[in-house]
Amino acid sequence: MPRYIFVTGGVVSSLGKGVSAASLGALLQSRGYSVHVRKFDPYLNIDPGTMSPLQHGEVYVTNDGFETDLDLGYYERFLGIKLSRNDSCSGGRIYWEVLNAERRGDYLGATVQMIPHVSNKIKEHIALPTDTDFVICEIGGTVGDIEQKIFLESIRQFANDVGRRNVLFAHLALAPYLEQSGELKTKPTQMSVRRLLENGIQADMLFVRSPRMLTSEERAKIGMFCNLPAKNVITSMNVDNIYKIPIVYDEQDVFAIMAEHFGLPNANGDMSKLKKIEHHLNADLPTCTIGVVGKYFDVADAYKSLNEALFHASVQNNVHLKIKKIDAEHFTPEDCADVDGILIPGGFGTRGVDGKIAAATYARENNIPFMGICLGMQVAVIEFMRNVVGDKNANSTEFAKNCTPVIDIMADCDKENMGGTLRLGAYPCEIKPGTLAEKIWGSTSISERHRHRYEVNIKYKDELEKAGMIISGISPDGKLPEIIEIPSHPFFIAGQFHPEFQSSPFSGHPMFNAFIAAAKRK
């Protein structure tokens, strides 16, 4: 049976539970243990798929095509593991499963209640089999949320079920610094741990989000009021890059605390991969400026995986990265005057599309390294069809009904009601030999993750290629264009998929690595 670590949070949201959970996993991996991670979100949506990036941040997609919370991206990137639909579970999904079970008669006419029926369903998801030494479960939300209570009750029960020494409770809280008085206030942390205790859970380890390292006196005070040893009070200090967090935790002997709790031998870990990133951040290197032409900049996490993938590629290319956010709704060519590369990310809806098309024009005409992702590929095709092929009516049927449908809805969708499902998850792609795509991936067969409904219309392949834009990647059945490029351009490539979902901080992703290399050359 694996051992379990539950990560909870209090006081405020966005304290970094996902990064902390991933960092604990990284410390365990550095000592040779295998790790799996799961996320439990108390909100009532079935999954994040229909949630606005302006409110929730990005929707992350797993290999098996499940739309999940962005924290699964942290887990996969930090730990190099592949997660699935079993590893993202919302309150809505739990209640949906319970109510469907009731309708099927699974409860044999019993009165369905929060305990035991809902709590048992949550415990079933926690205990889904893995072949790992540890399972880390992040519980979303903050202690005190109405929606979260049943999840806290479930993990309390779970600890009793499997044995208290097989479960460690890690809690994140906030210690704000008041500039007027020059004091770090520990009371919010104390109250958060007390609220957790009201739910029957005693924290074994406490991570205190703070602008500076806690003093020994502050740790002793927090430990006394929160009923745990001072050494188990860890500073979760603000850092300039999330990949420094496991190093900060390691320097505070976090693994030793886990080893003591679980009865493991204490050991030093190999943190060299993470320290390489830390060295990169401190090195004196040239800077590449990448213009990202998007429309979800009001929420920092809306392009989280994209930003991370660009950073990973900058590490691989020994340059520092500057991301220039360019609002697609108000795009002007002057926005790109100081950039070394232009990237157009994915998105839904008509807002900002004209600006994205104009950005693709600017990159093509001025030989600026260009990379398009999902909608970014589609607008590049529309732009080329209009301005090079000469069909001014070229468009996507997502944006216009009466047009040359160079972008069209998937054939198996209900065109009348715009229904059907998105193309989600990993799909194979066959790459044409001798192309830039083959040079980038080093293969003629790849697999990348998708999240979209519209496709480049294969009917216009000959027109595009005759004018100089080739389809260098296509689905194995030859029906769905996956990669386009312009061979006469220094670097112009776009994919229908989302390569950012498979980028690693330790190796980057081939497409991003090549894009940043082209920007560096410029």
Active site residues: 374, 498, 500
CA distance 167 to 170: 10
User: Taking a C-beta distance cutoff of 8 angstroms, is the pair 273, 293 a contact?
Assistant: no
Inter-residue contact 283 to 267 (CB < 8 Å): no
- Strand order of the β-sheet with 233-237 is 88-90, 35-41, 134-139, 3-9, 167-174, 205-210, 233-237
Q: What is the DSSP string of 194-219?
A: HHHHHTT---SEEEEEESSPPPHHHH
Closest CA to 88 of 55, 51, 137: 137
Give bridge partners of residue 313 from the DSSP assignment.
Answer: none
CA–CA dist 260, 265 (Å, integer) = 8
Q: Cα(360)–Cα(422) distance, rounded to whole angstroms?
A: 25
SS3 392: coil
CA 226 – CA 201 distance, rounded (Å):
12
Task: Give the span between the Cα atoms of 108 and 448, in whole angstroms.
Answer: 44
In 317-376, the DSSP E strands lie at 320-327, 341-344, 370-373
Number of C-beta neighbours around residue 312 at 10 A: 25
Task: Compute the distance between CA of residue 152 and CA of residue 264 in angstroms, rounded to an integer.
Answer: 26
Q: What is the end-to-end Cα distance of the chain in Å, rounded?
A: 54
Q: Which two tokens stand for residue 82?
A: 């592949």
Question: Is 348 within 8 Å of 376 (Cβ atoms)?
Answer: no
CB 332 within 8 A of CB 361: no
CA-to-CA distance for 371 and 337, rounded, in angstroms?
17
At 55, phi and psi to the nearest 5? -115, -40
Of 4, 6, 15, give the one whose Cα is nearest residue 172.
15
Alpha helical stretches, state H, 445-500: 461-467
DSSP state of 352: T
**Residues contacting residue 100 through CB under 8 Å, at least 6 positions apart:** none
Alpha helices in 16-90 (DSSP H): 17-30, 53-56, 71-79
The DSSP string of 172-190 is EEE--EETTTTEE--HHHH
Give the phi and the psi of residue 70 in degrees, each rounded to 5.
Answer: -65, -20
- Closest residue by Cα to residue 173 from 217, 218, 205: 205
